[in-house]
Structure formats: structure tokens, C-alpha cells
Structure 1
């Protein structure tokens, strides 16, 4: 199969379906193209606490759901997944699209899959390169975390193992998620009013926990000396306000 190399955390973020655009300074000759995603030995010097909130918030949600690990735990020198580069554009307005030198072309991703266990100790190369021993027929098992769903006043929410264990052991009684354009319709209204939610089922692999909801609120995330939500922008100066949904169970 064809492959291209990228630093972490971007490789895992692409394969998990979060990062839908890869910014490059060169265009592809032809698309669509099915590719393996290789991550190099060095990680980008960015972490959850240093990246823009427009990226950090959906990443935190995906970590809470058990889709991706902490950036520090992401593998290196490995094939982490597979994707289709659908098209190559000079203009794209995804929150992951960038502008300026090094981001002249946007590779738009689809049909992504993140491997449960990466193929380790693989060296990358510049540009698009071949890994002839890996085919669509011998790919590793892929991560399969169900999406958050709502059925009336009941929600089904996947959680990482740490979160669901804490809830089952009584060490915690609540979870939270950052509101984004992608999940707002599940949790609340456009006016940021919480949707009526009476019961919830948390799932993690074969584990599940069904509970009555004691409290369900949407609240702003504020600076210590303010009651106004923290605001942030993306590369196109679109402004967002930071809100979270909090779900406490009985």
C-alpha cells in the first residue's frame, strides 16, 4: 500500500476521524488515494495544554470516550491506521485547515481507521512511499468505539476505561464533555439549553453502566475572575465560546 509519514499527535488524530485535513506544501498528482498513516520517531512539540482550544476540546472529548490515548502515550515509528485522501484543495475551512507557508494544500481525509495495535518499528520516508508487505487484506484490527447517541430522554455514551471504572466503583458520579459544533445537537439546543435527559448508559467495550441522571447542565467555562465563557478562535478568526455539558448520575 501507499503511505505517508507525519508526526504525532497528527497521525492518530487523522486516523481517529478528528483531524479531517492534512496541511501540506505540495499537491498530490492524483486522488482519491488509499494510504497508510505512518508516524515518525519524533512527536510534534505540542500537547493537550499547549494547543489551541479549537483542537484541544474535541481531543479531550475523544480521550474521555476512549477513542484515543493521551498524546504522551501515542506510539511513534509506527503505522497507526489507514485513510483515503479524498481530494487535494488550496482552500478548505475545516478547523484543522491552516494558512501560510507549509499549508498551501489541504489533503481532505475520509474513510479513516485507527489500529487497535500499531505496526511498530517502521521507518518512514519523504513524500508518498510504498509498503508492499501491507495490504487491505492483512490490516490489524481497528478501534471501534460507538458514537454518542440519543433516543428521546435516554443517552448512550462511550467512555474510556478509567472513567467507567470510577463510576462503577463509586469514585466519581459525573462526566463532562466540551460542546462543539459536532456534538451540540446531541446535548443541547442552539441556544445552549440542555436537552431533557433522564437516563444514560455508559459503555466501554463489554462493560456498561445504566443510571438515572441526577443533574444535567450546560455551563460556561470561565476565567477565575469572570462569569463570561472563555472565547477562542481558529485559523480563520471564527470565534467560539467554551461550554461544557455536565452529567451527574444517581
Structure 2
């Protein structure tokens, strides 16, 4: 038989999601120092998560981290995709869990396997989770060997 009812559709690869996180937090995540992200909301998404650094910088946090002796690059890139982690799960804050980065009264997003891109990829972020552009998806695929699609 032939016709529209019997045609096969190509199955899209899973869409890789990204999350915009202000510097210096984005840098600490891709460097593997901060493996929990604090959010007020949950998502059902899990898997590869690209870290995007938007234009805004958390200057108060940057100053506090440097004062505490945290080693950070002199220049923190913004408006770029920095690397990829795996979002393993999300849980409610529990007494002292996820120290030192977990904050009280929020959701803790557990991150593993940070991998920095060889070079930051310029791009615009968005609020919440968003699909990565095709070129960033290709970079993730090369880095992780995982088949994945962009927007």
C-alpha cells in the first residue's frame, strides 16, 4: 500500500536543552566546581544540559568569590554557550544537602560530568530551558558522542 497513511516519518533526535546561568556561576559549573544549580522551579527534563552565560554578571557573587580566594579567570565570557553537563535529577533542599552551593528553600538541580567546549560558542540565551542552536548541538555531539538535535 502507498499513500500518506503509510509513509514513514523520520524520528527526530532528542532536543538538547540549555539553561542561561549568570557568571561567575556558569564558569564554576563547567569547571566542575559547582555541581548543583539552585532554581525555584522543577522540570521533567533530564540528560544533557548546555550551560549558557548571558550578558548579566552577578557582580556581588563575583566579588565575594574572589574575596574568598576562589580562582576565576580575569575575563568571564558572556553571551556564549560554555559547555555541557548532565542534569541527573532535581530534589527539594534538605538540611545541609549540596553544601557549599545548595541554597535553602529552593530546588537543587544535580549536575554531573561537566565538559567545557574548546571555545565558547556565541549565542543568545532565554529564560527557562531552551533548545540549543544546531551548531551548539553539533559541538555537544562531538564532545559527548551522543546523537542529539538542536532547534
| TM-score, length of structure 2 as denominator length | 0.72
The aligned counterpart of 1:128 is 129
Specify the alignment match of 2:26 in structure 1: 11
TM superposition shift of 1:135: 5.4
1:37-76 paired onto structure 2 within 5 Å:
37-46=51-60, 49-51=63-65, 56-57=68-69, 59-60=70-71, 63=72, 69-70=73-74, 73-76=75-78
Runs (5+) with no aligned partner, structure 1: 64-68, 143-250
User: Which runs of 5 or more structure 2 residues have no equivalent in the other structure?
Assistant: 1-15, 144-151
Q: Say which structure is richer in strand.
A: 1
Residue 51 of structure 1 aligns to a residue in which SS? helix
Is the alpha carbon distance of 1:48 and 1:129 closer, same or farther for their aligned partners in structure 2, counting shifts above 3 Å? closer
Match of 1:167 in 2: none
Distance 1:137 1:5 in 2: 19
Residues 116 and 141 in structure 1, CA contact (< 8 A), matched pair in contact too: no
Q: Identify which of structures 1 and 2 has the higher relative contact order when contacts are C-alpha pairs closer than 8 Å and 6+ apart.
A: 2
Kindly state the Cα deviation for residue 132 of structure 1 after the two structures are TM-superposed. 4.0
Q: Which has the larger radius of gyration?
A: 1
Cα deviations across residues 16-58 of structure 1 (Å, max 9, x unaligned)?
1001110000011143x211111111101235542387xx44x
Q: How many residues align?
A: 125
Instruction: With the length of structure 1 as denominator, give the TM-score of the two structures.
Output: 0.45
Separation (CA, whole Å) in 1 of partners of 2:119 and 2:136: 16
Residue of structure 2 equivalent to 1:180? none
| Shift >6 Å, 4+ stretches | none
Matches of 2:63 and 2:55, distance apart in 1: 22
> Which structure carries more helix by proportion?
2
